[in-house]
Amino acid sequence: MNSIFTFALTFISLVLAAPPTTNGTRFSIDGKTGYFAGTNSYWIGFLTNNRDVDTVLDHISLSGLKILRIWGFNDIVRKPSPGTVWFQLLSSSGSQINTGPDGLQRLDYVVQSAEKRGVKLIINFVNNWSDYGGMPAYVTAFGGSKEGWYTNARAQAQYKAYISAVVSRYINSSAVFAWELANEPRCKGCSTDVIYKWGTDISAYIRSLDRNHMITLGDEGFGLPGATSYPYQTSEGVDFVKNLGIKDLDFGTFHFYPQSWGVGNAAGPAWVKDHASACKKAGKPCLFEEYGTSSDHCNSQRPWQQASLQLAKEGMAADLFWQWGDTLSTGQTHNDGNTIYYGSADAACLITEHVKAINSS
């Protein structure tokens, strides 16, 4: 009996230690295959108070959310004053990756805290936008244009060096859900071959470093059949269906911001359905990775969540609302209009009720 008990404990520990993976068009986390809910927090890796990090991850875990997408980048072109968090200094004369207490050690703590709470992290390597440096910071350091970033040899060499530094740091962590190439990669006016070829190269490079964790692109899901409105077009150089075919990308991602894209809130369920159909055809899971509105959060976004959950066995695997809000030692976290604060009426609708629906499905 004692040996059976020991065997059972060993088996459970091995299941919990195994990294998340795909199972057809669904995800498996800690031995459970199903549909999962989560959120985004771009700022959690930049917090300097460990208790604040723990508070956020405690609240996320208690809410029943399993996946948290975070920024694994913080690029600068000039050194800031001491005590300011930054991860990478970009310079044509020699870039520097900051592994100190105001550098990647901040990200270390997020990963360690997530491990203790069973929260799984999507870690992103670069921003399409200028927030926290991103591709524009690489352009400042290495020249060229933002559209040329994907083929800029010096920029890509440093980008790969940064990826290697981060992946090697957390390669054995149970908290890593997936590595993500970029936040919302776009190449306006470019052939879709540019991002496709870049995604193929970088995902293969990450796979050469880490064969155990999943990899994803991080795009907004532009360019797919179903309608003719802006997000369905390939004007941003993104072809969702084409990119799903990249061998080393394990799942597809898509976002939805109707106000920014010039479409109505009512377009959300069809947007979800069309991506689910593409993912099902490709045999890969779809992650509804970001979505938000600036007002009437519950009534606007609940139909999108419901549409995604209804397609749980038809291509959809999880959804992550943008963005998590909380009250820290310094006060409330950033409110960009989309923020859903812990303990609010919006949270009751879009988190508590949603998780309950998932658990009963």
Active-site annotation, residues: 184, 290
Of 34, 42, 44, the closest CA to residue 66 belongs to 34
Question: What gap in Å lies between CA 239 and CA 194, rounded to an integer?
Answer: 10
Identity of residue 297: H
| Adjacent-strand bridge partners of 291 | 256
Question: What gap in Å lies between CA 259 and CA 238, rounded to an integer?
Answer: 20
Of 217, 186, 184, the closest CA to residue 199 belongs to 217
Q: Using an 8 Å Cβ cutoff, are 89 and 98 in contact? A: yes
- Phi and psi at residue 333, to the nearest 5°: -75, 170
Q: Using an 8 Å Cβ cutoff, are 37 and 356 in contact? A: no
Q: Using an 8 Å Cβ cutoff, are 292 and 259 in contact? A: no
Question: What gap in Å lies between CA 361 and CA 359, rounded to an integer?
Answer: 6
Q: Using an 8 Å Cβ cutoff, are 294 and 259 in contact? A: yes
Question: What gap in Å lies between CA 127 and CA 122, rounded to an integer?
Answer: 14
| CA angle, residues 182, 324, 295, in degrees to nearest 5 | 100
In the block, tokens 């193929």 appear at 200
Q: Using an 8 Å Cβ cutoff, are 159 and 138 in contact? A: yes
